[in-house]
Amino acid sequence: MSNLVIVESPSKAGTVKNYLGSGYKVVASIGHVRDLPKSTLGVDIENGFKAKYINIRGKGPLIASLKKDAKKADKIYLAADPDREGEAISWHLVAALDIPQEKVCRVTFNEVTKNAVKTAIKNPRAIDIDLVNSQQARRILDRIVGYKLSPFFWKTIHGGLSAGRVQSVATRIIVEREAEIRSFVPEEYWTIEARFRTENGEAFSARYFGEGKTKNELHSKEDADEILNDIGDKPFVVSEVKRSKRAKNPQPPFTTSTLQQDASRKLGFRSTKIMQVAQELYEGVNIGAENGGTQGLITYMRTDSLRIADEAKDRAAEYIRSVYGEKYVPKTPRIYKTKSGSQDAHEAIRPANPSLDPEKLKKYLSADQYKLYKLIFNRFMASQMASAELDTVVADINCSGHVFRASGYTVRFRGCLAVYGSSDDGEQNDRGGDAMTQGALPAMEAGEEVTKEKLEGICHFTEPPARFSEGSLVKFLEEKGIGRPSTYSTIITTIITRGYVERDGKILKPTSLGEVTTELMKKYFPEVVDYEFTAQMESSLDNIEHGNSSIESVLGSFYGEFAKQLEAAEMSVSKDDVKLPVEETDIICEKCGAKMVVKTGRYGKFAACPNYPDCKNTKPINAKSSRSSETVQESAPVPGMKCEKCGADMVLRSGRYGSFYACSNYPECKTTKQIVKKIGVKCPVCGGDIITKRGKNKAFFYSCENYEKCGFSSWDMPLDEKCPKCGQMLFKKKGKPLAVCHNKECGYKCDYEDKTDTNKDKAEG
C-alpha cells in the first residue's frame, strides 16, 4: 500500500517526511491550485452565487505531477494548514486531481512535531464542507465587492484603483484617526512637582494631588500659582502612609493579534515579517541532530484561542520547576478564558516543545527566528508561572491642606516577571496620574516632617490620539471584530500597497487618495465600511462554518442592498465630482518655471507641470519622495548599466507604453533600452528563457532570449503546459480564450481562461 501526503509548502513537506518514513511520499501543493478567474467576476450571482473555479495559471505541471502521484497512491492524506483556508485548499485538491472520495483522508495538526503528525495520520477525517463553504463565502463576498466597486473608482477617481471589503474599513479607521488628530484642540493643564528629603536624608518625588481626599485639577497657571503662593515656606508633613501587597498576574499566551502587537512594539517587526517568520518556525527548522533534527518549533500561528493542551502545561511546569524552582510553579495550572466569538479550533501560540530553550537553539536559528521564538517562548512560560508579588507604598504629604502624593513599589517575589514583563510597561497617563510613581520609597511614617528641596508648577497640554502603528491597528481590528487572525497581515499590506495608507516610520498615515476614497465609500456605500456591519458579516461567515447558515442566504442578504447602492452611486457621481488634493514637489519646470506637482497615471506617480495643457512637461519621480516637505529625486542609476552611445548612467523611466531604461543625459542623448521580462517558460526550440518584447508598433510579443541563434518568437503567449495529444507546447491565442497546440498539424485547441489582464488583477478586494 502506498501513501501520499500533500501539504502546502516544501519546507513543511521536508519536516513531515522526516517523521513518516519510507512508506509515505510527501509533496507540496504550494498553496492553492484552483481559484476564481482574474479576468471575469467568476461568480454566478443569479444562480445562488455559484463560483467558477479554474486551475491557477502556471501550476499546470505541478497539478499534472500531483495527479500522477495521486493515481499511484492507495490513500491520500490532505494535510494543509488547520483552518478555513487549509480546508479549502484540500477541497480544491480533490477536484483538481480527480481524487476518488474513498482515497480522501483529511488530516490536521496544530504543531509540526513527530507525535502530532503521526497522531493525525492515524485519525483522518472527511473534508469539513461547512468549513470550506465559510471560506468560499468570504472569497466570493470579497470578489463581488472588489470587482463591482473597482470600476466605479476607475470612473470617478482614476484608473487602476481597487476596492476591498475589509481593506476599505481598515482605511477608514486610519482616515478617521487622522481627522481626530487634525480637529484636536489641545487643552492646557498644570501639575506641581515636588522633591523632598526625609529625616534620614533620602530623597523622593511627589505630585500635587488635591485638597484633603478630593482630587483637584489645575487648568491654568493662575490655579498653580494660587497653590504655590499659599504654600510659601510652610512645612510639609507626612499625613498618611498606606502599605499593601499586590499580585501581578501573568499575561495569557499569544494569539495572532497579541503576537503581532508585541512583536511590533518590542521587536520592531512589521506584520508581514512577523507572520512570515512565525510560519518558518511552525513548518520546521533544523535544530541539530542532538535536538531532534528538523521540527516545528511553535504551534499554529493563526489563532484567537487561549486554550493550552494539558500536556503542554505539564511540560511547562517541569521546565519552570527545573530552571526557576518550585515556588515559581502555581499551585493549580492556569486556565485563560477565550473571548466570546473566538474560534477555538487551535491552541494559543506556544512552543511546540516547551523544553527547547531559545538559548539552546540560538545557533541554529536566523536572527529574526531567534527573536520571535524567544518572545513566544518567554510569553508562554510566564503565562504558566506564579504571580509576581509587589509591596506597594502610597504616601500623602500635607502642607496646609494641600496634599502631595508619592507612590512606589518593590518586588517581593518576581514570579512571572522573571521571564516576561507587561505589554503596558512604559505607558503613562496623559494627565500625569494621581501620584508620582517611582521605585522603592524611603522609609517614612505619618507625622514625620520632610524637607522641601524643589517645588515647581509645570505646564502641559493634552495630546491628540496617537496614529496607529501596525500593532495598534491589529488590536483595534480585533476589538471591533473586523477580520480574522489569518487576515490581519494581509489587510495592512493591501492598504499600503494600493496607496491608501503609507508608513511614516512605525506609524500608518492615510494618503490623500485614501481620504478621498473613504469619503466616497462612506457616502455611497455606508454598509461596506461600517464597523458594526463588517463585524456582523464576520459572524455570519462563522455561522456558515458551524452549519447554521448557507452561502446563498448570507451573500443574498448582503448583495440586494449593495447592488442598489452601486446603481445609485454610478448614476450620481462623475469624475468631475471627485478631486484629489494637489501635491507640490520641489522640482522646477525647466520650460515655464512653475513648481511641478505630483500626478498619478496608469504606471504610477510622476511630476507634471501645473500649467497643463499650455505646458505638457513631465518628469519621473521617486514615489517615496513625492510630498512637498521632502526632496524629490530623479530615478536612481541602474546598477551596472551604462549608455552604449555616451557612457552615461542609464536610469529607469516611465512612458505611455510602460517603463524603460533611458540615458541620464537626456535630452542631449536619447538612447533608450527595453526592459526584458522573463515569463517563466522555456523556449520550445533551444530551451532558453522566453522574454517579453515590444515591436515597432509598440505591441507586445514573445521571444526567446537567444533569438539571434534559434529564431523563436510568437505573438501568442507560450504556456508552461504540454498538449495532451502530441506533447508539444500550448499557446494562449492573443485576444481569444483559446489554448492551441504549437504543432499546427496536431490541431489541438481548448478553452483557456485569460488571466493576464493586470488592470483586472487590481480589481479584487
pLDDT of residue 93: 97
- Whole-number Å distance between alpha carbons of 682 and 393: 75
Mean pLDDT of 560-588: 83
pLDDT for residue 686: 82
Top pLDDT among 239 and 618 is at 239
Q: How far apart are CA 608 and CA 620, in angstroms?
A: 9
Q: How confident is the model at residue 341 (pLDDT cuts 50, 70, 90)?
A: low
User: Is the confidence at residue 293, as pLDDT, over 80?
Assistant: yes
Q: Give me the residue label for grid cell 497539478.
A: 63
437 or 588, which is more confident: 588
pLDDT in tens, 545-569: 999 999 999 999 999 999 999 999 9
With bands split at pLDDT 50, 70 and 90, how would you rate the model's confidence at 622?
A: low
300 belongs to the catalytic site: yes
Per the structure block, which three cell numbers stand in for 479?
Answer: 476589538
Q: Which pLDDT score, from 0 to 100, does residue 626 have?
A: 35
3-state SS, 531-596, equals HHHHHHHHHHHHHHHCCCCCHHHHHHHHHHHHHHHHHHHHHHCCHHHCCCCCEEEEEECCCCCCEE
What are the backbone dihedrals phi and psi of residue 6, each rounded to the nearest 5 degrees, phi first?
Answer: -115, 120
Measuring CA to CA, which residue among 168, 122, 61, 155 is closest to residue 562?
A: 168
Residue 85 has pLDDT above 70, yes or no: yes
Q: Quick check: 71 pLDDT over 90? A: yes
| H/E segment holding residue 714 | strand 713-714
Distance, in Å, from the CA atom of 155 to the CA atom of 411, rounded to the nearest integer, reads 64
Distance (Å, whole) CA 662 – CA 57:
33
87-109 mean pLDDT: 96
**In which residue are the cell numbers 488571466 written?**
755
* Predicted pLDDT at 153: 86
pLDDT grade for 603, boundaries at 50, 70 and 90: low
685-708 pLDDT tens trace = 888 888 887 776 666 788 888 887
Residue of 637 and 303 predicted with greater confidence: 303
DSSP secondary-structure letter at 386?
A: P
Q: What is the rounded CA–CA span in Å between residue 164 and residue 761?
A: 12
Pick 4 or 434 by higher pLDDT: 4
Q: Is the pLDDT of residue 641 over 90?
A: no
Q: How far apart are CA 545 and CA 260, in angstroms?
A: 25
Q: Which three cell numbers stand for residue 338?
A: 477565550
Give the position of cell 497653590: 227
For residues 172-179, average pLDDT: 96
DSSP output for 636-653: PEEEEEE-TTT-PEEEEE
Distance CA 156, CA 500 (A): 16
pLDDT of the residue at 763: 38
What is residue 154's predicted lDDT score, i.e. its pLDDT?
83
User: Whole-angstrom Cα distance, residue 752 to residue 610?
Assistant: 45
pLDDT digit string, tens, across residues 35-49: 999 889 999 999 999
Amino acid at 409: Y
pLDDT confidence bin for 631, thresholds 50/70/90: very low
Residue for grid cell 533620602: 202
Nine-digit cell string for 441:
520609597
466-522 confidence digits (pLDDT tens):
999 999 999 999 999 998 888 899 999 999 988 899 998 889 999 988 999 999 999
> Phi and psi at residue 49, in whole multiples of 5°?
60, 40
DSSP per-residue letters across 163-205: --HHHHHHHHHHHHHHHHHHH----EEEEEEEEEE-TTS-EEE
The single residue of 19, 300, 370, 661 carrying the catalytic annotation is 300
Instruction: Assess contact for 220 and 188: CB atoms under 8 A.
Output: yes
481-513: b (≥16 Cβ within 10 Å) or e? bbbbbbbbbbbbbbbbebbbbbeeeeebbbbeb
What's the grid cell of residue 532? 458594526
Q: So what's the pLDDT on residue 240?
A: 95
pLDDT given for residue 427 in this prediction? 38
Query: What is the C-alpha separation between 380 and 423, in angstroms, rounded?
Result: 14
Report which residue type is found at 52. Answer: K
pLDDT at 525: 93
Percent pLDDT > 70 in the chain is 89
pLDDT at 679: 81
pLDDT at 624 > cutoff 60: no
Report, as an integer, the average pLDDT of 251-279.
Answer: 94
Largest Cα–Cα separation, the chain: 109
pLDDT tops 90 at residue 651: no
Give, as one character, the DSSP assignment of residue 265: I
- Mean pLDDT computed over 443-459: 94
Q: CA torsion, points 698, 704, 709, 712, in degrees to nearest 10?
A: -80
Q: Which three cell numbers stand for residue 474?
A: 491589529
Q: What is the pTM of this model?
A: 0.75
pLDDT at site 118: 95
Residue 407, C-beta contacts closer than 8 angstroms, at least 6 positions apart: 392, 393, 394, 395, 435, 436, 437, 438, 441
Residue 21 pLDDT class (50, 70, 90 cuts): confident
Higher pLDDT, 673 or 286: 286
Burial 205-227 (b: 16+ CB within 10 A, else e): bbbbbbeeeeeeebeeeebbeeb
Identify residue 603 by its one-letter amino acid code.
Y
Q: What SS3 state is found at 219?
A: coil
Number of H helices, E strands in the chain: 19, 36
Mean pLDDT, the chain, as a whole number? Answer: 87
Contact 737, 743 (CB under 8 A): no
Taking residues 258-269, report their average pLDDT. 94
Determine the pLDDT at residue 279: 94
Note the pLDDT tens digit of each residue in 400-448.
Answer: 999 999 999 999 999 999 998 754 443 334 455 666 677 789 999 999 9
Q: pLDDT at position 726, please?
A: 76
Model confidence pLDDT, tens digit, residues 736-747: 777 888 777 777
The arithmetic mean of pLDDT across residues 281-304, rounded, is 92
Per-residue pLDDT, averaged over 121-141, amounts to 96
C-alpha pair distances (Å), 290 with each of 18, 36, 705: 15, 46, 49
Evaluate if residue 251 carries a pLDDT over 90.
Answer: yes
Residue 753's alpha-carbon distances to 142, 235, 549, 694, 722, in angstroms, are 20, 88, 32, 24, 16
What's the Cα-to-Cα distance from 350 to each of 246, 318, 335, 346, 745, rounded to whole Å? 28, 15, 14, 11, 61
> C-alpha cell of 600?
498619478
**623: pLDDT confidence band, cut at 50, 70 and 90?**
very low
Residue pLDDT, tens place only, 155-168: 888 767 778 899 99
Q: Contact at 8 Å (CB) between 287 and 295?
A: yes
Give the gyration radius of the chain's Cα atoms. 32
